[in-house]
Structure 1
């Protein structure tokens, strides 16, 4: 469970991928789209893809490799015979058949260590009620996702609005504590506004004979 929390927080901070929630019933199939070309952080080329499942522990569902001459698709233990794919490496769909409640959790499509697609799959069993622990895990997963989204919005708001105001306040305070800096600050403000400071009157030096 701790691993799941850390995984969600890491995804929120390190990826721009969108979260998609999918609800299915036990015994049904689910199709997940894995797209490298739609990934905002993608490069021009890729050679492999992993599909991960994470709820109480992280495990691989599928490994897909290609060198543009041949390809290799390897379903992992527990998914052999239940997983199929359609499409190319850069754009494909992975279908998981005969779902059980144990298939619930977080699914991520990872290309060359870049997370491009994220799904939250919730599988309900009509014949048997889900255990309270599993319901709590899924509920906590959704709560963490909501907190992450709110946190990201708050951080963006802080960076865009608060930080410039703080910098401006620090500059003004520094200018007040430094007379020379204050004069330079006033001169800079007046210059930006198209004004020019009035020159100080020249002091008249006494004549050589001591007369004005």
Structure 2
């Protein structure tokens, strides 16, 4: 068996592969929301409730990817369901690439400023790298279109704006709070980069022959 077969649509679309990935992402999503428990509690105590949805960035990205996998396993039949699938897939790609790279970058940026790297950091590096990689690999199975991609980028930019306007961005390594303006700029730029990745996926999808 050729190694390239492991990246083929035929292999990636196997139900066993999709189920393994779904279970892994579902477990990671649950763990991610637990990880954000303290920040969610503090936000609920100190901020309006509507801001809670913008707090757990990475687990929400993982949730979008899990939903996208479910809809690959059980494709919607109705037109509304197909539009919803496109939106979820676009959100899965944009947010998984964005927050996968963002978390790894913040960990190493903090280390470069003197923060200690502990085993949890290495666990987060591995899991968030996997988030970005799996989105880039499985995007070939998705059905993303321009409208869904535009909505996904707009949502992610809104998330960035709420995070840094109201101070509910993910907790950072201590030294990075002195460079918050740079973190904010990097965050917005990474959203646009992730949207560009989604745009490439749309172009590839639209260029595929029908049938």
Higher Cα Rg: structure 1 or 2?
1
More helix by share: 2
Q: Which TM-score applies when normalising by structure 1?
A: 0.27
More strand by share: 1
Q: Which TM-score applies when normalising by structure 2?
A: 0.27
